[in-house]
Amino acid sequence: MDDLQKSTVVALSGMKAQTERLRVISENLANADSLAQVPNGTPYQRKVVSFKNELDRANGLTKVVVGSVRNDHSEFQRRYDPKHPAADSDGYVLAPNVNPMIEMMDMREAQRSYEANLNVITVSRSLLSQTVQLLR
């Protein structure tokens, strides 16, 4: 395989990894208000994605894949809502440890990373095509 095509393959793996990250971020954001269902029950727990490099022996490339999607074990927030069925004796309900601001920043980072990979593909594609055009 041509090196320019290889770089396209690697960039594609990066894009795929970033989309998975974006999916997890969207899960976190969507569940930001998924409170506990029973008193002292656990609400939605934030998930974090970690990437790892993966060797593609057939082509001699190092791609990126999603290593694992783990739960974030940081402390839950407490929300004062005495009317909620899962409220404890003090009137507090456990809320997910999701901070929308952090998720937004993560999302922006995923977007930028995706775009960077997209640019790699655009450049290598245009270089390949220009090289072929030399034949004319």
Partner 1 sequence: MTSITSAISAYSALAKAVNGDGESGADPAAAVAPGGDFASVLKDATKSAIGALKQGEVATAAGIAGKADIREVVAAVTNAELTLETVVNVRDKVINAYNEIMRMPI
Contacts with partner 1 by CB under 8 A lie at 5, 8-9, 12, 15-16, 125, 128-129, 132-133, 135-136
Q: Which is nearer to partner 1, 7 or 97 (CB)?
A: 7
Would you give the DSSP letter of residue 66?
E
The Cα–Cα gap between 93 and 134 comes to 68
Q: Which is nearer to partner 1, 8 or 97 (CB)?
A: 8
CA dihedral for 68, 69, 73, 74, sign (positive or negative): positive
Q: Which is nearer to partner 1, 70 or 112 (CB)?
A: 112
- The CB-of-21 to partner 1 minimum distance in angstroms stands at 14
Q: Helix (H, G, I), strand (E, B), or coil: what is residue 105?
A: helix
